[in-house]
Amino acid sequence: MIQKIVRMKCLLVAAALALVFNTAFCVTNAKGKDEIVANGKKVSFNYTLTVDNQVVDSSDKNGPVKYTQGEGAIIPALAKELEGLRVGDSKKVTLTPKDAYGEMDPTAFKEVDKSTLPKGIDPKVGMILQAMSKQGTPFPVRIAEVKESTVKLDFNHPLAGKTLNFDIKIISIE
């Protein structure tokens, strides 16, 4: 009789341990810990982007980046660096201008009459204006030079010619 009780207690303990292990395993899977960043996976990550040791962007301001790996929504060289990472992994990634937004294009400057600028704008070098593409997509344009009646606009990407330093932490993978 005592042996049956001991055997029953052992079975109950084993069943309880199996339940705890199984529950912990399911919770881990539910959070995507066993997933890796791979093509077709929906990925979210927190980041800080620095250029010349200055923070220029971060998920603190804009929230985490959410994208599908392999669909071209983020810089391709950055996407390649994230392949194989898991939830909770952190990585520092440095992208040269060639791998990011390219070098400055000297042909991407255009001199325009000040009268073409929006009313009420007092143009200053470094000021960022919003322009529209032919498709109606807004994009930033920087004032590179101000003359008496004209301004020189820089149509390069704001990060062209810059080395980008990312500090990334993967927060979810689906």
pLDDT of the chain, 174 residues: tens digit per residue: 444 443 444 434 444 444 444 444 444 444 456 799 999 999 999 999 999 999 999 999 989 999 999 999 999 999 999 999 999 999 999 999 999 999 999 999 999 999 999 999 999 999 999 999 999 999 999 999 999 999 999 999 999 999 999 999 999 999
3-state secondary structure of 137: coil
Residue 80 CA, distance from chain mean position: 13
Q: Looking at residue 160, what is its pLDDT?
A: 97
Listed in sequence order, the residues at least 6 apart from 152 whose beta carbon sits closer than 8 Å to its beta carbon are 109, 110, 111, 143, 144, 145, 146
Query: Hey, what amino acid is at 47?
Result: Y
Distance CA 131, CA 142 (A): 10
Residue boundaries of the structural domains of the chain: 1-30, 42-99+160-173, 106-154
State the CATH architecture for 106-154. Answer: Beta Barrel (2.40)
Residue 69's SS3 state is coil
Highest CATH level, class, for 42-99+160-173: alpha beta
Residue labelled with tokens 């004032």: 143
pTM of the model: 0.73
> 116 by DSSP, 3-state: which?
helix
